[in-house]
């Protein structure tokens, strides 16, 4: 433990004071070992026991506790400052984390088939900035005919304004010929807020104006202003089980697009997880020949890195 290497020489300094020298050697040795470990819980326990056994030295033991807490705060501040400096000095390709997934899917709606699904998520968190990249591919070719071809790529950047409030900018590309468009580009910017942020639960919401350009398979092109509202919920139900819910809606004058994905993850071993997800995509005014609602169930293996 790195902190113990710093605390170890300090322990000798604490215990060399005249007051501590009056403590029995066995008690001094226990306190020294606890301080050297850098474990605040151990130090508190040993000092509490020492107070019971040596009530006349309570004041001196309180001094030890105060000095140890001060040292820990100083070391924690130094470690945080070093970590912040490391983040500030990191290169463009440093400090990224993410996950990749691959598996099968079952689709109903504009197409009814099974096929291959692959995806990648990357995230980079800085001092004030967060970067998120996402790519997803669903593809099947049966008897020489493509029966599903869906692509999605998105990049989002967040800037922390204050507390849990942040600004976001989003750029997104989609392609799904079975929903009637060969390409759909979206751009949005606005504000987001972290409603919940605990060790087991997180909830973020965001909203802002957007611009969309849709290139339909029939050859027509449409560009329009829209509004975007989205929510991202993650819940670590148990040590190896997690529930996720992502939803977003683009509000346009003549068409509203909604996509919602519910996922359940179960840890298998190490960074490997199994995931089942159910996605609903709905357009209020789809192109001719396309139905309004598509559903997609994915069964994937997910590897985090």
102 with 13, same domain: the answer is: no
pLDDT at 142: 74
What global pTM score does this model have?
A: 0.72
User: 147 and 128 in contact (C-beta within 8 Å)?
Assistant: no
pLDDT exceeds 80 at position 67: yes
Which CATH number belongs to the domain containing residue 255 in this structure?
Answer: 2.40.160.40
Mean pLDDT, rounded, for 216-237:
94
User: 113 and 139 in contact (C-beta within 8 Å)?
Assistant: no
What is the C-alpha to C-alpha distance for residues 158 and 132, in angstroms, rounded to an integer?
Answer: 8
Taking only the tens place, the pLDDT of each residue in 120-142 is 999 998 888 999 999 999 988 87
What is the C-alpha to C-alpha distance for residues 201 and 6, in angstroms, rounded to an integer?
Answer: 35
131 with 59, same domain: the answer is: no
171 with 271, same domain: the answer is: yes
161 with 249, same domain: the answer is: yes
Say which residues have a Cβ less than 8 Å from residue 291's Cβ, sequence separation at least 6. Answer: 109, 110
Mean pLDDT, rounded, for 200-225:
94
pLDDT at 7: 47
User: 14 and 30 in contact (C-beta within 8 Å)?
Assistant: no
What is the C-alpha to C-alpha distance for residues 242 and 263, in angstroms, rounded to an integer?
Answer: 8
pLDDT at 276: 96
Which of 89, 124, 153 is a domain's end point? 89
User: 110 and 294 in contact (C-beta within 8 Å)?
Assistant: yes
Domain count, the chain: 2
Range of the domain at 26: 2-89
């Amino acid at each position: 433990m790195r902190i113990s290497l710093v605390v170890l020489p300090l322990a000798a300094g604490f215990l060399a004071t005249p007051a501590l020298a009056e403590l029995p050697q066995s008690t001094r040795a226990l306190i020294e070992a606890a301080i050297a470990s850098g474990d605040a819980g151990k130090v508190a326990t040993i000092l509490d026991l020492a107070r019971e056994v040596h009530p006349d030295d309570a004041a001196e033991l309180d001094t030890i506790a105060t000095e140890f807490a001060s040292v820990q705060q100083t070391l924690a501040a130094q470690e945080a400052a070093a970590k912040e400096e490391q983040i500030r000095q990191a290169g463009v390709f440093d400090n990224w984390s993410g996950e990749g997934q691959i598996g099968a899917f079952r689709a109903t709606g504009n197409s009814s088939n099974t096929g291959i699904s692959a995806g990648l998520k990357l995230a980079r968190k800085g001092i004030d900035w967060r970067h998120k990249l996402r790519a997803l591919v669903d593809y099947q070719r049966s008897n020489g005919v493509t029966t599903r071809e869906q692509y999605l790529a998105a990049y989002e950047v967040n800037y922390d304004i204050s507390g849990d409030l942040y600004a976001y900018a989003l750029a997104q590309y989609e392609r799904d010929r079975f929903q009637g468009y060969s390409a759909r580009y979206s751009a949005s910017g606005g504000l987001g807020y972290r409603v919940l942020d605990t060790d087991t639960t997180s909830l973020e919401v965001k909203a802002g104006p957007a611009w969309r350009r849709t290139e339909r398979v029939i050859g027509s092109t449409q560009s329009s202003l829209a509004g975007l509202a989205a929510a991202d919920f993650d819940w670590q139900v148990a040590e190896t089980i997690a529930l996720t819910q992502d939803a977003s809606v683009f509000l346009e004058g003549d068409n509203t697009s909604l996509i919602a994905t519910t996922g359940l993850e179960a840890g298998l071993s190490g960074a490997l997880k199994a995931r089942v997800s159910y996605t609903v995509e709905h357009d209020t005014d789809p192109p001719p020949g396309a139905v309004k609602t598509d559903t997609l169930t994915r069964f994937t293996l997910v590897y985090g890195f």
